Each structure stands twice: as C-alpha cells, then as structure tokens.
Amino acid sequence: MITYYVYILECADSTFYTGITSNLTQRIESHQSGKYTDSYTNKRRPVTLVYYCEFTDPNMAIETEKRIKKWSKAKKRALIAGEYDELPNLSRKKFS
C-alpha cells in the first residue's frame, strides 16, 4: 500500500509551499537542493517542513492539497500549530 503525504514547507521568506508526494524524505531533499530550478521554493531556500499528513487514498490527498493551497496564511498557521478548532473561524468570508 502506498502512502501519500500532503506537506507544508515554510520558506526562508516566510511564505508557505504546499505539496503532495509519495516519498516525503526525497521530496524535501529535492526542495532543499534546488533540484527543480523553476520551482516556487528554489529561490526561497532553505525550506523547513512544518506540517504533513498521510493518506492511503491518492484522491483524498490531492483534494486536501488543493484545499490547503487556497487557505489564507493565518489558516495554514493554525493548522501547523494544531489549532484545529480555529480553522472554521479563519475561512475566507465574502461580504456583500
């Protein structure tokens, strides 16, 4: 059974990068080494792994990654800190 990881990296410029992989260690090493010169993290190194979660269903992992990518920085910080009760309060609200 393959395990899929959704992960959040904090970059040197204090931004976050969210990704998905089936080999977390190798993927983090790729980010740190600048293996992909056109990637978001390449010019924002070093990066620090600040959060990850595991999935056995790749579709759930992909959906979770997409959802987190749309979140505000404050909501990502709450997730990283384990402040799960705060997540609904940090959703972006549209006012008319």
pLDDT at residue number 49: 98
Residue 71, amino acid: W
Domain range for 60:
4-69
How is residue 68 written in tokens? 């987190």
**78 inside domain:** no
**39 inside domain:** yes
pLDDT at residue number 46: 97
**19 inside domain:** yes
Helix locations, 18-81, DSSP H: 24-33, 58-69, 73-81
**87 inside domain:** no
**9 inside domain:** yes
Residue 58: which CATH number? 3.40.1440.10
Q: Report in angstroms the alpha-carbon separations of 47 from 19, 53, 60, 73.
A: 13, 18, 25, 16
Which residue's structure tokens are 């992992």?
A: 61
Q: Are 87 and 68 in contact (CB under 8 A)?
A: no
**53 inside domain:** yes
β-strand partners of 55: 4
Residue 11, amino acid: C
**83 inside domain:** no
pLDDT at residue number 93: 62
Task: For the chain, 96 residues long, give each residue's pLDDT as a single digit of tens.
Answer: 999 999 999 999 999 999 999 999 999 999 999 998 999 999 999 999 999 999 999 999 999 999 999 999 999 999 999 999 999 888 766 655
Answer yes or no: pTM beyond 0.85.
Answer: yes
Q: How many domains does the chain have?
A: 1
